[in-house]
A and B are shown apart, each in its own frame.
Chain A
Amino acid sequence: QMPLQESGPGLVKPSETLSLTCTVSGGSISSSTYYWGWIRQPPGKGLEWIGSIFYSGKTYFNPSLKSRVTISVDTAKNLFSLNLRSVTAADTAFYYCARLTYSSKDIDYWGQGTLVTVSS
C-alpha cells in the first residue's frame, strides 16, 4: 500500500492562498517511477487535474490554473505541497493528492481527499 494523506486548513478566505500538504508513507517519494499530483472535485461535480510534480522538482500544470498554482516536493520529509493563490468561491472543492504512474500515466493511488471551502 502507498497511503497518501492530505492535510491543511478546511476554510480559506477569498483572495487568500490555499495551502495543502500530502504526506506519503510506505514508500519513497524520490522515485523516477512516479509523478505526484493534485486533483480536485467541487461538491457534486467532476474531477479536475490541477498539476503534477516529479521527484526532481519538474512541474506540470493545468493551463487553466497555471498562473495561480505552485506545487513543490520535500524529499527529506517525503511529502509534496500545493499552493493555490487568489482563491474564490469557485475553488471550493474536495482536494485529492495522488500518485501517478510514469510509465502508464494513470493514477494508481489517491488520498482520501479533504474539503476546502472558500468563504469569508
Chain B
Amino acid sequence: QSALTQPASVSGSPGQSITISCTGTSSDIGSYNFVSWYQQFPGKAPALMIYEGSKRPSGVSNRFSGSKSGNTASLTISGLQAEDEADYYCCSYGGIINTWVFGGGTKLTVL
C-alpha cells in the first residue's frame, strides 16, 4: 500500500483558483469513488472538506470542489482567501481489504 502522490506545495494569490492533484492507482482512486480531502491548520486536527470525490459536508464553502479522472483526484479552491492557507491531504479507500491511504500532503500558500 503506497501513499498517494500530491505536490509538496502550491501557491496562489487572493482571488485566484488553485488545484491540488492526488494520484493513486487502479486499486484505490481508480476503482472507488471514495476520495476525501482534509484541511489542516498548524497544531490542529484535520477537518473534512470533500467526501466521495466531490461532495461537500455541511458548512464547507462552495469555493472548495473535488473531481476525479482515472487514478487522479483533484481539489480546486476558487476565489482564494488568506484563510485557506493550510495543509491539504487527500485520502482514498482501498476497497477489497478495507484499507485507507493518505497522500503526502500539500502546503498551500496564499501570496
Complex CA gap A38/B45 in Å reads 13
Residues of A within 8 A of B46 (CB): 47, 96, 107, 110
Complex CA gap A39/B46 in Å reads 11
B52 adjacent to A46 (CB under 8 Å)? no
Residues of A within 8 A of B97 (CB): 60, 63
A104 adjacent to B52 (CB under 8 Å)? yes
- Residue of B1, B104, B105 touching A62 (CB-CB under 8 A): B1
B54 to chain A, nearest CB (A): 11
- Chain A 100-120 near chain B by CB (<8 Å), digits 1 or 0: 110011111011110000000
Q: How many residues of A contact B (CB 8 A)?
A: 24
Residues of B within 8 A of A108 (CB): 48, 51, 57
A49 adjacent to B93 (CB under 8 Å)? no
Residue among A63, A64, A110 having the largest count of chain B Cβ atoms under 10 Å: A110
Complex CA gap A101/B34 in Å reads 11
- Residue of B32, B45, B101 touching A111 (CB-CB under 8 A): B45
Knowing A63-B1, A106-B36 touch, does A52 contact B98 (C-beta < 8 A)? yes
- Chain A 24-65 near chain B by CB (<8 Å), digits 1 or 0: 000000000000010100000011110010000000111110
Tell yes or no: B64 within 8 A of A by CB: no
> How many residue pairs at the A-B interface have CB separations less than 8 Å?
68
Complex CA gap A105/B3 in Å reads 17
- Residue of A47, A52, A63, A104 touching B51 (CB-CB under 8 A): A104
Tell yes or no: B91 within 8 A of A by CB: yes
Residues of A within 8 A of B48 (CB): 106-108
Knowing A49-B101, A63-B99 touch, does A105 contact B45 (C-beta < 8 A)? no
Tell yes or no: B41 within 8 A of A by CB: no
Complex CA gap A79/B105 in Å reads 29
Residues of A within 8 A of B89 (CB): 46-47
Q: Give me the 5 closest cross-chain CB pairs, A-B, nearest first.
A: A106-B51, A105-B93, A105-B34, A106-B36, A110-B45
User: Mind listing 9 A-B residue pairs with CB under 8 Å?
Assistant: A46-B104, A49-B101, A61-B99, A63-B99, A104-B34, A105-B100, A106-B36, A112-B45, A113-B45
Which residue numbers of A lie inside 8 Å of B, CB to CB? Answer: 37, 39, 46-49, 52, 60-64, 96, 100-101, 104-108, 110-113
